[in-house]
Structure 1
């Protein structure tokens, strides 16, 4: 009898806890929400975060702010999120850089677990990198660029948002496949790299299509030689993929999502997922993202976590082959 009573009390307590969690999730957010961004304003990650923040602000009736914390290849913003209060009010615009390339490069030095210290409430979608040259360059496609680079080994430069980010590694992979020697020039953000190639101070540049590159290409301020995804992007239908230009199986597709601290209550994770998937299904948010060249792709939190694990494994191999592991 005592055992039955004890079990009954435990069941009641569990139900009360579940009810409290659901009620808390229904009230969420109860204060302004921060979306951490590990890069300076102006790049694809920052642009995406601001578009998403505006949509969530309208939906939730609570301000959603973008908090730029650049540095350490995105690690600063990621670590701040891992150490944040587990209440769901600190999110990070996680991406292929923060949760795939950085864990692959800095796995011996990270102070957090890129999987175990995070929850993965919402995937947003995928975006290619785009390889661009200044219009004065005598190259209109990758074949001509490779020929030019072979005639001028070690003298052609390409800019990117920084060492080890996905744009940089996408060209390191291309260099290995093409057998060319071009020099990487890292910048403090994608916007600065793009500005220098537009002005002619840099021969070529690579960056997420979302953000400045798309507008620069449309304005003929730079010439796009190829997109890094497996398929052409709807916003640049005339720009071929690397695979189409002689590099079969070449596919570097970046991705964006919302991640948060691992101990955030499951009910809040479920609410963020449901709200984001609703916004991404149709309407202004989806349209604004697609206008930036982002292919919207939603999933469950478990599905998103599985995607991140697979990406870390994939990029660990690329980093090792390119000898880009940080000591």
Structure 2
């Protein structure tokens, strides 16, 4: 902003202007004092970060790492993660949409809840765009096609050959109907011409437990939720679902290397309810930007297999999250329709 300086006013006009200025200053102080008294410095108490999935999954792992750093940077009493799972993420998401618009309740969510559920449920209970304001896109996470170590197929090619020889006889587990790891299996069925049978669970942890125990041969699971078991040799990774190999598992091929065109990743983002005051939203966006530029948080997230958005010098802001959400709403609506998946 620039200012144009003028010559001082004539002496006869000066008393009137000083009087007017004093009157305006008194009016402003009387008018703004109550507002300032009612708006303590934000944040003045703990912020609740709602994760609409069960503990132990990707979103929970990322949420706990981010909440710790964000709480440090905001100088609040902390950011507390609260898991509110159910209905594929709808219950927790709805609760944030209806929460007070004061910035003390946030939504750490994933693309399957925010971008897939609106196409999957007849009444999802929230508007993914109108009910929320984007704070920050954190990054993307590939899923991994995992099998029990005793399963006979050791490559995607061997798995597809086995599936074609035994149509409808090979089951795969998922975190539930309409979740991303369910739809990744349906996408594989469609693109590879096989018939893997879907077995839904209530969350990725029980699904993975049954594959670990040998009750089911395979599942799709996010890289952060499965990395420890892969490294321990308790699960074998056949392929990752993203367009490129993961730096964390460079020896594991992509599904697209065997099934051309196959690609599907999970993104993670932080939202606030629509209606949060702009100054509060800006403070949260700035806090997340600083958090995601901090080396300690970046290192922890990358070690979990999160492919961070933005660069080490510039975090991906709210605009990137808003654009990605709009794009994925259209993309997954088409995939859900073609797969015939639905949840009442």
- TM-score normalised to the size of structure 1? 0.89
| Higher Rg of the two aligned structures | 2
- 1:118-158 per-position Cα deviation (integer Å, ceiling 9, x unaligned): 00111111001111001111111111000111122222111
Aligned to 1:227: 240
What corresponds to 1:206 in structure 2? Answer: 220
Q: For residue 111 of structure 1, report the CA deviation from its aligned partner.
A: 2.3
Question: d(CA) in 1 for partners of 2:91 and 2:105?
Answer: 14
Hey, what does 1:304 align to over in structure 2? Answer: 321
Which among 268, 272, 287 is matched to residue 299 of structure 2? Answer: 287
**Counterpart Cα distance in 2 of 1:48 and 1:174:** 27
Partner of 1:210: helix, strand, or coil?
helix
Cα distance, 1:302 vs structure 2: 2.7
Cα deviation, residue 299, structure 1: 2.2
Counterparts of 1:247-258 in structure 2 under 5 Å?
247-258=259-270
The residue aligned with 2:289 is 277
Asked if structure 1 preserves the Cα contact closer than 8 Å seen for 2:256 and 2:262, the reply is: yes
Equivalence for 2:253? 240
Q: 2:167 aligns with which of 132, 147, 153?
A: 153
Q: Does 1:166 align with 2:183?
A: no
Q: State the match for 1:64 in structure 2.
A: 79
Residue 139 of structure 2 corresponds to residue 125 of structure 1: yes
Q: Which piece of structure 1 moves more, 117-126 or 276-285?
A: 276-285
Q: 2:151 aligns with which of 124, 132, 137?
A: 137
Aligned to 2:190: 176
RMSD: 2.0
Q: More displaced, 127-136 or 53-62?
A: 53-62
Q: CA deviation at 1:24?
A: 5.5
Aligned residues: 309
Please name the residue that 1:34 is paired with.
48
Residue by residue, what CA displacement relative to the aligned partner does 1:8-50 show, whole Å, maximum 9, x if unpaired?
x9xx98xx98xx79x969x322211111111111111111111
Secondary structure class of the residue paired with 2:182: helix
Q: Which runs of 5+ in 1 are unaligned?
A: none
Partner secondary structure for residue 56 of structure 2:
coil
CA distance in 2, matches of 1:266, 1:208: 34
Question: Normalised by the size of structure 2, how large is the TM-score?
Answer: 0.85
> What is the SS of the residue equivalent to 2:268?
strand
Partner of 2:109: 94
Equivalent-residue separation in structure 1 for 2:39 and 2:254 (angstroms)? 47
